[in-house]
Amino acid sequence: IADDEKGHDLDLFCVPRHYESDLDKVIIPHGLIMDRTERLARDIIQDMGGHHIVALCVLKGGYKFFADLLDYIKVLNHNSDKSVPLTVDFIRVKSYCNDKSTNSVRVMGGDELSNLAGKDIVETGRTMQTLLSLLSECNPKMVKVVSLLVKRTPRSSGYRPDYIGFEVPDAFLVGYALDYNEYFRDLS
């Protein structure tokens, strides 16, 4: 998504009344998220070969993307000669206060931390790098990171996930489980 992307007028979509005055525009329509996620699922299955995948969801912001990505992977598993055994796990990570990334990253939950992580957005990359160093302590055979969004920002540490849905401008994005102080997750 280009830096000068105009986006779509809010009036073109169904936006909850209680959020109307707080939002600027729709940058990525829900249908586009779904179409891109379908392709990510195909790429992942092709790359993973016969490896067993532990799909690890990074809560809370990653839950929508995680669920939709796994649904597409499930469809591929149901309908192709090549299929991968899949189990799920969930981890909670907190690094944000208001609209600013903070230096401390707190990680909670998760019991079987191995093969694959699904995330909402990478800004500086600090959250993901902290999580990856924690995961490496469990000696997984391989770790692949899928992030729906990666922000183009001068604050980036240079970290890049293995799979990226969209590269986005340096703006604050909400919806599809991404929040501002817990609000706006309930947008498509």
CB 130 within 8 A of CB 107: yes
User: CA-to-CA distance for 145 and 142, rounded, in angstroms?
Assistant: 10
Question: In the set 41, 73, 117, 173, which binds ligand IMP (CB under 6 A)?
Answer: 173
Sign of CA dihedral 97, 10, 19, 91: negative
Question: In the set 96, 144, 164, 185, which binds Mg ion (CB under 5 A)?
Answer: 96
Question: In the set 56, 113, 145, 178, which binds ligand IMP (CB under 6 A)?
Answer: 178
- Both tokens of residue 59? 């809560």
Question: Pattern 30-59, binding to Mg ion, x per CB under 5 A?
Answer: ------------------------------
- CA 144, 149, 154, 158: dihedral to nearest 10 degrees? 10
Cα–Cα distances in Å, from 28 out to 56, 99, 156, 185, 187? 24, 19, 22, 15, 12
Question: What's the closest the beta carbon of residue 84 comes to ligand IMP, in angstroms?
Answer: 26
Question: In the set 54, 73, 121, 143, which binds ligand IMP (CB under 6 A)?
Answer: 121
Question: In the set 64, 113, 127, 176, which binds ligand IMP (CB under 6 A)?
Answer: 127
- In the bound state with ligand IMP, the residue whose beta carbon lies nearer, of 51 and 152, is 152
- In the bound state with ligand IMP, the residue whose beta carbon lies nearer, of 70 and 121, is 121
- In the bound state with ligand IMP, the residue whose beta carbon lies nearer, of 96 and 166, is 96
* 125 binds ligand IMP, rule: CB under 6 A: yes
E-only strand ranges, the chain: 53-59, 86-97, 100-108, 116-122, 144-151, 163-168
Question: In the set 51, 101, 162, 188, which binds ligand IMP (CB under 6 A)?
Answer: 101
* 115 binds ligand IMP, rule: CB under 6 A: no
User: CA-to-CA distance for 49 and 20, rounded, in angstroms?
Assistant: 45
User: CA-to-CA distance for 172 and 44, rounded, in angstroms?
Assistant: 28
Binding site for ligand IMP (CB under 6 A): 61, 95-96, 101, 120-127, 151, 172-174, 178
